[in-house]
């Protein structure tokens, strides 16, 4: 079972109780859990981030992490895989060794990244993390409030983590737009604004919006989005 927490594309954060149920369900099914936590600790809502690894005694857990998100070095595709398996099941079954054998011949990251990583991990201050969270919290709130001003777009929930929010298109209020893909193509052409159509992640007629930009740019982008939707609204 694969879970993504905090979530991309919807900005969700799972509670301890929800993760506990996931672990128990996986145990009953006799399967392990792969936890994608590249946005681990990038949370700014009411729920704290809970690593799936704390449930390792219930079910074996593989955790995927990355330096690019929490430490804000996009493009540095350097990550890690950690196991939480107090009972030793993965070791007994040879799964851990099999993964290690696959990773051993994998190409290494550029040397300058390898040299920088110890400094980044050891010397990044809590002030850096708290400032980042404050910026993302304000951006998430701004995005949510501005989206409520657009009738043809519904934001079901304010993002609580990661850097994205997922919104629903109400195509019945728009004309000359068939689906989310056409919406995004016309938006890019008319407003030079790029959003991810939901169909790319299996959610037709939804949109993924990132708010990890400067506040002025975010306000400008959301203003363009509102203008585009107003221009394409069906006339009474």
pLDDT tens digits, 84-117: 999 898 888 898 888 888 877 667 778 888 889 9
Q: What are phi and psi of 227, to 5 degrees?
A: -60, -40
Q: How confident is the model at residue 201 (pLDDT cuts 50, 70, 90)?
A: very high
Residue ranges covered by each domain of the chain: 2-124, 127-231
**CA distances to 66, 125, 156, 186, 217 from 143, in Å:** 26, 28, 12, 21, 11
Upper half-sphere CA count for residue 218 (Cβ side, 13 Å): 21
Q: Do 2-124 and 127-231 come out as alike in CATH topology?
A: no
Q: What pLDDT does residue 212 have?
A: 94
pLDDT tens digits, 30-75: 999 999 999 999 999 999 999 999 999 999 999 999 999 999 988 8
Q: Which one of 3.40.640.10, 3.40.50.11900, 3.40.50.300, 3.40.109.10 gives the CATH number of domain 2-124? A: 3.40.640.10
- What number is the average pLDDT over the span 151-157? 96
Q: Identify the DSSP state of 172.
A: G
CATH class of residue range 127-231: alpha beta
Rounded Cα gap, residues 4 and 71, in angstroms: 18
- Average pLDDT over the chain reads 94
């Amino acid at each position: 079972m694969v879970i993504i927490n905090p979530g991309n594309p919807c900005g969700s954060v799972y509670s301890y109780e929800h993760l506990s149920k996931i672990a128990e369900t996986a145990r009953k099914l006799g399967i392990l859990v792969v936890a994608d936590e590249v946005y681990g600790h990038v949370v700014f809502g009411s729920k704290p981030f809970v690593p799936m690894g704390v449930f390792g005694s219930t079910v074996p857990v593989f955790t995927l992490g990355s330096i690019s998100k929490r430490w804000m070095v996009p493009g540095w595709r350097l990550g890690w895989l950690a196991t939480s398996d107090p009972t030793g099941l993965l070791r007994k079954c040879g799964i851990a060794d099999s993964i290690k054998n696959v990773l051993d011949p994998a190409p290494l990251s550029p040397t300058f990244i390898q040299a920088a990583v110890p400094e980044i991990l050891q010397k990044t201050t809590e002030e850096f993390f708290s400032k980042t969270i404050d910026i993302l919290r304000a951006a998430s709130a701004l995005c949510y409030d501005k989206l409520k001003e657009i009738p043809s777009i519904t934001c079901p929930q304010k993002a609580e983590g990661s850097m994205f929010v997922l919104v629903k298109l109400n195509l019945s209020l728009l004309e000359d737009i068939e689906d989310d893909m056409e919406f995004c193509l016309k938006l890019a052409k008319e407003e030079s604004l790029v959003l991810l159509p939901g169909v790319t992640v299996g959610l037709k007629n939804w949109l993924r919006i990132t708010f990890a930009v400067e506040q002025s740019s975010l306000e400008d982008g959301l203003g363009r989005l509102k203008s585009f939707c107003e221009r394409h609204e069906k006339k009474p």
